């Protein structure tokens, strides 16, 4: 946390939504197309948001 505070700016913990996963998938696809990733990642398959429905944090 000290590093975050030193860099300034405000940070928040936010839920991982389908919109967030879509953006991350787009980045992963770009890295794969640039041959920076050896295998294509399918983030939607690897991550579930099911626990968010049970949580009262968000």
The ranges assigned to domains in the chain are 16-43
Please tell me the predicted confidence (pLDDT) of residue 17. 84
Residue 57 reports pLDDT greater than 60 = no
Quickly state the pLDDT bin for 55 (edges 50, 70, 90). Answer: low
Please tell me the predicted confidence (pLDDT) of residue 51. 63
The verdict on pTM exceeding 0.75 is: no
pLDDT tens per residue, range 1-54 = 566 567 667 777 777 888 988 999 999 999 999 999 999 998 877 776 666 565
Show the 3-state SS of the chain: CHHHHHHCCCCCCCCCCHHHHHHHHHHHHHHHHCCCCCCCCCHHHHCCCHHHHHCCCC
Residues sharing a CB contact under 8 Å with residue 4, sequence separation 6 or more, in sequence order = 11
């Amino acid at each position: 946390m000290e590093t975050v505070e030193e860099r300034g700016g405000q940070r928040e913990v936010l839920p991982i939504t389908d919109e967030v996963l879509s953006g991350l998938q787009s980045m992963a696809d770009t890295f794969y197309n640039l041959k920076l990733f050896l295998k294509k990642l399918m983030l939607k398959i690897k991550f579930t948001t099911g626990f968010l429905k049970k949580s009262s944090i968000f």
